[in-house]
A and B are shown apart, each in its own frame.
Chain A
Amino acid sequence: DIQMTQSPSTLSASVGDRVTITCRASQSISGWLAWYEQKPGKAPKPLIYETSNLESGVPSRFSGSGSGTEFTLTISSLQPDDFTTYYCQQYNSYPWTFGQGTKVEIK
């Protein structure tokens, strides 16, 4: 199985900050990576698919980049609604695997 290592596990930041979350895969996943945000009690909401494609309706302050085994999610200017948990997921091969999650907290 492909292991996904997501960092940091917790991130403290302020409104307006630029933040970056990283996911590293144990082998190449050829760009088949998605990013999700998850609010408490809700299903994961896709933000980005295939490394860098923004889902419909997702604000442009979110962006994704990377290739091979290293990928990043960037929020250019944190908004109050962005303080939640984020996950990466590889879907290059089954089983799908996920990063451990990053909780973005208010500093």
Chain B
Amino acid sequence: EVHLLESGGGLVHPGGSLRLSCAASGFTFTSYTVSWVRQAPGKGLECVSSVSVSGDNRYYVDSVKGRFIISRDNSKNMLYLQMNSLRAEDTAIYFCATIMSARPCWGQGTLVTVSS
């Protein structure tokens, strides 16, 4: 069974850092681009960052460029999001997601709260 499990969320002060992880199982992780999608409280869905199979190609939404770094470890079937210089507006549930054979697959999400 395909499974994506996020971890690493929590409460952090503005300006702080957090590293999110996503453990993938049940599929060939090394064959798919993977992404982080977030949802701020009461808001819609936003694709924050994506990384290609090899890790060579990375996308970032403008609001996180220079602050967030996406990476993957194909030997461990893991996806990461290093979040630095966090702001209140980064408060959201962060989901990892992928598309396999045209079918979306999402994790359950991890909550990041940026507050003093």
Contacts and interface: CB of A to CB of B under 8 A. Distances in A.
Range of interface residues on B (Cβ < 8 Å):
20 to 34
A53 interface: yes
A95 B59 contact: yes
Nearest to A36: B104
B95 A43 contact: yes
Interface string B28-71: 00000101010000001111001000000001010000000000
Nearest to A32: B102
A82 interface: no
Nearest to B37: A96
Contacts of B45: 44, 87, 89, 98, 101
B85 to A, nearest CB: 21
Contacts of A46: 103-106
A94 B50 contact: yes
Given A96-B47, A98-B44, A100-B44, 9 more contacts: A42-B108, A43-B95, A46-B103, A46-B106, A89-B104, A94-B50, A95-B59, A96-B35, A96-B37
